[in-house]
Amino acid sequence: MNLMIDAKSPLPVYQQVIQAIKLEILSGGLRDGDPLPSIRDLAKLLKLNPNTVAKAYYALEAEGFSEGRSGSGSRVRVPPGRQDALRRAMLESEFRSFLGKAVSLGFSRDDVRQLIERISQ
Amino acid sequence: MNRKEWREVGRQSWYFVLAAAGMALLAWLMDLLQGKPLEGEKLVIIFALWLLVFSMFIGLSPFAMDSRQKGMEYLLSLPFSRRRLLLIKLLPRLAAVVLFYLAFVLMYFLIGQDAFGGGFTVFSLAYFAMFFISFSLAVVHESFIVQSLWAGVALGVYLFLCLFIVVLGFAWKFRMPASWIGSRAWLDLSYDASTLLSAIAVFLLMALPFILSFFLAFKRFDLKPARAFNRRQLLVFIPMLILAFAASLGVTYLVQNNSADYESNCHILENRQLLKTSSLGNLDIYGETGRRQIKTGRKLWWEYILFEVPGKVFILGYDVNDSSTSIIRLQLENLAWKVVYSIPDGSEATPGFLFRQSGHVLVFLQRGREQTERSGMKSGLSLKSNRLDLVLLDMNSERSRTISFRSSLFPTFLNPYIFAHDEAGGRSFWLVSGKDGKEQHLLRLWEDGVVEDLGVSKKFPVYFGHLLFSHTASSLVVRRLLASGSETIREIAGKVNVASDYFIGFLDVGEAREIYGTRNTRIIRIDLATLAIGDVGPKRGQVLRVPPADFYYVEHEAWLPSQGRSDKWRKVFRLQGGKPVFIRKFDFNGKWPGHVWIQRHGIVLLDEVKTRFFAFPDLRELKFKKLN
Amino acid sequence: MSQAIIEIRDLSLGFSRRRVLASLNLSLGAGEWAVIAGCNGAGKSTLLRAIAGVLLPDAGAITRSAEVPPEKIGFLSDRLSLFEDWTVARAIDFHCRVFQVGEFDDRLVKLLGVGPGSRIRDLSAGERAILHLTLALAQKPALLLVDEVLHMLDPYIRDLFVDALIEAVSDRQAAVVTVNHTFSEIERLPDRVLVMADGRFIVDGTPEELRGLMKKIVSREPLPGGVPCFFRKAEGDYKEYFIYPFHEEMRAKHALDFQDIALPEIIKAFIGGGYEQKRMA
């Protein structure tokens, strides 16, 4: 498992935890049916407040990415069909932030498009 | 937590026991080097002083260990309320203090009963007071030295205030100015039950502000500097101390003012009436029909009933205002009273019980102004000069005459008293005995001012049937006094005691044929004609002389002091013709020891509950109206 | 947040002439993790001592709910006070008895290799901190008060120390109050950050709120008007401006690079600003 939390990010920590776990699911680090680390273990691993972890787990459960009692009993659930949508959404959000930076560097959309084509060849 | 404190106290106590044992060993070694055995009394005094140190140390110690270990913050973070914490600290220490005291009391009664004289009570009270005062100063300062300084100062102030109240109590009890009692009052804290009780009450009440203010302030005890705590404690302490002082005064007044001063205040008169000196300046005469009273306001304190001649009584009194001592004549008929002799300002007479009557003459010893060196006490007459006056007061004419004597023997003469009056070769003389070192020194004072040395006696001498009985270490010497000097008639070996007349005011013994005394545990009779000694019976009490020349034996239910309890009854026998003749049995009520006081005209029975009066010769009980 | 387990109202406390806490208010819920920061002498340790009952308030009140009886307060003071003459074994035995601890978990102490027979006064500061924490945790505290002791510990032990605190919160919903100067290890732990200055709280919020409210601008130019600068730090030609309170509208109004900063730096800025204000006053 490789979960990253960015201390400087203005994004609340529990959302970062959610993102990190979703990313782990998408990248195949966590598969359907895998047990989620217990709140206590994850808090100790990431040096996070257990309440923060619990909050993230609740959110994940509400979104359907885990089931069972929150905490030690939770297991990963990957809702069929949602995986792709999620993957797409995350790529999109990464792309948006990339685009934003490109624009602030003074590039036009065409510049970006050409760049992508050149790199992907 | 409790276990920690018990362990701590146990260890500290153990160190103290070791140190005390070390000191005892040292004292023993030092005595050994000087070639004498270790005295129990010395040991007791060493231990007593050590105990005072112990009670201070253990009182100051509760937080010393914790603070030295840097554990105060930890201690205060423990889940105990402040009050609980203090109790946890107090109880083991109090237990140690009590235990040590009990051990000390045991030792005291085993080996050193005379170590402090009457000071044992004050020691006990000071010991416990020291503990409580020290305990209440346990957090006064971080440094133990400063703490103990404070404890010393506090104990000093405390003892001063307590003894001040006790002295006032004596003043109220004996109806005299406090200045007469002086600083030695602390020796008499167990003078009687009421004095002891009020002293204990005073010591307790006065200790309360210390411990209470500490407990109250301790509710807000924390890690702040001691000064804030001290200020808070002081703020509670001062009003409490004032209250306690007032309460102590009140209790002492109530107890002491209402407790009978029975030593000198009841006197059965020849006409079977009762003369009683009561509260300040009051004198009452009780008869079967009622009471007559003299009130002098607070002006006069009737101190000692001296003598009675038909129709009048002579009483020793103090004028409270100018502290002069006077002999007062009281007419029984109309209660008119008059000062017939006033002891000159600044001079001193022998105490009232050493005044003597011889016929119609009242006789006593006095030393004049220029010879007086006040010792601060009224009870002793120590002569620093070589002059002594004999005062003769004719009770009929009420005129007095003084004979002055000079002798180099007088300056070492302590508490001299007259024990006989007789004549030889047509000249009158008085026999005087005074304490000289550990012995009595006997002198003959001739009416013309000559002083004659009659040697020493180990115990009080007796003069009976024109014979002088004095004691050597191992015998009783019987002498006949000549116109000059004396001749020894007989020396009776063995420890023979003859009933002393130290407290007997009558010098006229008449033509007596026998005297009684004791030898070891037996009562004996000495025939004055043959000087033969006869056995009368076992002695389980006291043999007394009652004027003019009667002897009584008072048998005590509990005689030996080692039985350690007071009597339930006493039996009075008249000793006559070598036999005890049973007269009466007196039962006591109450816990405190009673007293049978045989007077010239009757017997006064005193105990905790009431005072009863029996008149000679038939010992009929006298009932007086309005006498409580 | 659950109901308050401890409620502090108008707490004032001082030593002789110095007033350390001034009408301070705070309420803490179960499971809440608050970190108190502030300059030296701001009153942090005094506050912890007052909550622990070691110091008593001059005015105001500290009320504890029924869930926090005295034996459920674990207190690690910066003095690490214990009875120093005692051995570790005796101290543990005593603590367990007094605080009615059933079972004692001595893993941490064992890990250090401190023998039960060693005297407490012979332990190093870090060893004592761990012993003390172990004792406090053994109480199964509902409230854990931890003064700044992290800096005494080596990085590995520091990690274990923090893990132990995390376990206390996740297992028993303990409320934790820590006082910290060294922040990097624990910056993501608190759900509440309190900054003290002159005996009162000048900041009280969640880390997210604080991150949202304070931004940094590094620039050679002076700040335009309307941008509130809480604290300014000069680095040669460049100046670091700490903007507080920050609103998102400022980004639209001003063409400035408002940088996001991490909690340790935010707190440093608050403390620095506190000093600045003190100097001005």
| Res A13: pLDDT | 84
Q: Which residues of B530-546 are buried (b: 16+ CB within 10 A; e: fewer)?
A: eeebeebeebbbbbbbb
- Residue A89 and residue A75 share a domain: no
- Residue A41 and residue A13 share a domain: yes
- Overall average pLDDT of the B574-601 stretch: 81
**Contact check, Cβ <8 Å, B79/C84:** no
| Res B262: pLDDT | 43
State the pLDDT confidence band at B280, using cuts at 50, 70 and 90. low
- Give chain C positions within 8 Å (CB) of B63: none
State the pLDDT confidence band at B187, using cuts at 50, 70 and 90. low
Statement: residue B58 has pLDDT above 90 = yes
- Overall average pLDDT of the C31-44 stretch: 90
| Res C88: pLDDT | 93
Q: What residue type is C3 in one-letter code?
A: Q
| More confident: B608 or B3 | B3
Which are the contacts of A83, defined by CB distance < 8 A and separation ≥ 6?
A25, A26
- Overall average pLDDT of the B582-588 stretch: 85
Statement: residue C95 has pLDDT above 90 = yes
Rounded Cα gap, residues B593 and A47, in angstroms = 84
| Residue C129 DSSP SS3 | helix
| Res B118: pLDDT | 64
- Overall average pLDDT of the B450-454 stretch: 92
Whether C53 contacts chain B with CB within 8 A: yes
- Residue A39 and residue A94 share a domain: no
**Beta-sheet strand order (sheet of C238-243):** C229-235, C238-243, C215-219, C259-260
| Res B284: pLDDT | 84
Interface test with A, best of C156, C167, C170, C247 (most A CBs within 10 A): C170
Residue range C4-205 forms a domain whose CATH class is alpha beta
- Residue A91 and residue A70 share a domain: no
Whether C82 contacts chain B with CB within 8 A: yes
**What domain range includes position A47?**
1-79
**Number of Cβ within a 10 Å radius of residue B563:** 11
Which are the contacts of C112, defined by CB distance < 8 A and separation ≥ 6?
C127, C130, C157
**Contact check, Cβ <8 Å, A48/C188:** yes
| Res C135: pLDDT | 93
| Res B608: pLDDT | 65
**Number of Cβ within a 10 Å radius of residue C255:** 7
- Give chain A positions within 8 Å (CB) of C156: none
B381-397 pLDDT, tens per residue? 444 667 888 999 998 89
A-side interface with C, Cβ within 8 Å? 5, 7-10, 12-13, 39-40, 43-44, 46-52
**Contact check, Cβ <8 Å, B74/C98:** no
| Res B263: pLDDT | 43
Rounded Cα gap, residues B79 and C173, in angstroms = 21
- Residue A54 and residue A112 share a domain: no
Most confidently predicted of B76-85, B188-197, B294-303: B76-85
| Res A72: pLDDT | 54
Rounded Cα gap, residues B70 and B96, in angstroms = 25
| Res C2: pLDDT | 56
- Overall average pLDDT of the C188-206 stretch: 89
Cis peptide, bond prior to residue B310, ω within 30 of zero: no
Query: What one-character-per-residue DSSP string does C31-82 give?
Result: T-EEEEEESTTSSHHHHHHHHHTSS--SEEEEEE-TT--GGGEEEE-TT---
Among chain A residues, CA nearest to C214: A10
| More confident: A26 or B199 | B199
C254-269 pLDDT, tens per residue? 888 888 888 888 988 9
Mean pLDDT of chain C: 89
- Min distance A68 CA to chain C CA atoms (Å): 18
| Residue B620 DSSP SS3 | strand
**Contact check, Cβ <8 Å, C169/A9:** no
The answer to whether the CB of C153 falls within 8 A of the CB of C125 is no
| Res B177: pLDDT | 65
- Give chain C positions within 8 Å (CB) of A8: 211, 260-262
- Min distance B228 CA to chain C CA atoms (Å): 7
- Overall average pLDDT of the B159-176 stretch: 83
pLDDT-above-70 percentage for chain B? 88
- Min distance B51 CA to chain C CA atoms (Å): 28
Statement: residue B562 has pLDDT above 80 = no
Name the segment(s) of chain C with CATH classification 3.40.50.300: 4-205
**Contact check, Cβ <8 Å, C94/B4:** yes
| Res B371: pLDDT | 45
Strand pairing category for C59-64 and C200-205 = unpaired
- Residue A49 and residue A20 share a domain: yes
Contacts 24+ apart (CB under 8 A), B155-164: B155/B56, B155/B126, B155/B129, B155/B130, B158/B129, B158/B133, B158/B206, B158/B207, B158/B210, B159/B126, B159/B129, B161/B206, B161/B245, B162/B125, B162/B129, B162/B199, B162/B202, B162/B203, B162/B206, B162/B248
**Contact check, Cβ <8 Å, C85/B69:** yes
- Residue A75 and residue A90 share a domain: no
Rounded Cα gap, residues B369 and B389, in angstroms = 11
**Contact check, Cβ <8 Å, C85/B1:** no
| Res B384: pLDDT | 62
Q: Which two tokens stand for residue B493?
A: 């070996």
Q: What are phi and psi of C238, to 5 degrees?
A: -85, 150
Most confidently predicted of A86-100, B226-240, B357-371: B226-240
Q: What residue type is C97 in one-letter code?
A: R
- Overall average pLDDT of the B158-185 stretch: 78
State the pLDDT confidence band at B56, using cuts at 50, 70 and 90. very high
Whether B484 contacts chain C with CB within 8 A: no
State the pLDDT confidence band at C57, using cuts at 50, 70 and 90. very high
- Residue A41 and residue A58 share a domain: yes
Interface test with C, best of B7, B216, B220, B223 (most C CBs within 10 A): B223
**Contact check, Cβ <8 Å, C54/B224:** no
| More confident: B594 or A47 | A47
Most confidently predicted of B198-212, B403-417, C10-24: B198-212
- Min distance C105 CA to chain A CA atoms (Å): 18
Statement: residue B245 has pLDDT above 90 = yes
State the pLDDT confidence band at B563, using cuts at 50, 70 and 90. low
Binding partners of A (≥3 Cβ pairs within 8 A)? C
Interhelix angle for B144-174 vs B40-60, to 10°?
Answer: 120
Strand pairing category for C33-38 and C175-179 = parallel
Q: Which two tokens stand for residue B148?
A: 């103990």
- Overall average pLDDT of the B39-66 stretch: 87
Say which residue the tokens 């051990």 belong to.
B103
Please give the distance of CA C236 from its chain centroid, rounded to a whole number. Answer: 33
**Beta-sheet strand order (sheet of B514-519):** B496-498, B514-519, B522-527, B533-538
**Contact check, Cβ <8 Å, C70/B220:** no
**Interface contacts (B, C; CB < 8 Å):** 63
**Contact check, Cβ <8 Å, A7/C167:** no
Q: Which two tokens stand for residue B480?
A: 């006949």
- Min distance B49 CA to chain C CA atoms (Å): 31
**Contact check, Cβ <8 Å, C82/B228:** no
- Min distance A40 CA to chain C CA atoms (Å): 6
B462-490 pLDDT, tens per residue? 998 889 999 998 899 999 998 888 899 99
- Residue A51 and residue A3 share a domain: yes
Domain extent listing, chain B: 2-258, 343-509
Q: Report the domain count for chain A.
A: 2
**Contact check, Cβ <8 Å, B73/C85:** no
**Number of Cβ within a 10 Å radius of residue A111:** 13
| Res B565: pLDDT | 62
State the pLDDT confidence band at B171, using cuts at 50, 70 and 90. confident
**Contact check, Cβ <8 Å, C71/B222:** no
pLDDT-above-70 percentage for chain C? 99
Whether C201 contacts chain B with CB within 8 A: no
- Min distance A44 CA to chain C CA atoms (Å): 5
Statement: residue C1 has pLDDT above 50 = no
- Give chain C positions within 8 Å (CB) of A40: 166-167, 170-171
Among chain C residues, CA nearest to B229: C16
Among chain B residues, CA nearest to C145: B77
- Give chain B positions within 8 Å (CB) of C70: 79-80
Which of B27-41, B364-378, C227-241 bottoms out in mean pLDDT, i.e. has the lowest? B364-378
Q: What residue type is B157 in one-letter code?
A: V
Statement: residue C83 has pLDDT above 90 = yes
- Residue A90 and residue A53 share a domain: no
Q: In angstroms, what is the C-alpha Rg of chain B?
A: 29
H runs (alpha helix) in chain A: 13-26, 39-46, 50-63, 82-104, 109-120
- Overall average pLDDT of the B266-285 stretch: 80
Within 200-239 of B, beta carbons closer than 8 Å to C belong to 220-225, 227-228
Most confidently predicted of B42-51, B75-84, B495-504, B593-602: B75-84
Using the 8-state DSSP alphabet, how is residue A98 labeled? Answer: H
Q: What residue type is B319 in one-letter code?
A: D
- Overall average pLDDT of the B259-271 stretch: 68
Statement: residue B100 has pLDDT above 90 = yes
Distances from the Cα of B397 to the Cαs of B329, B392, B393, in angstroms? 11, 12, 8
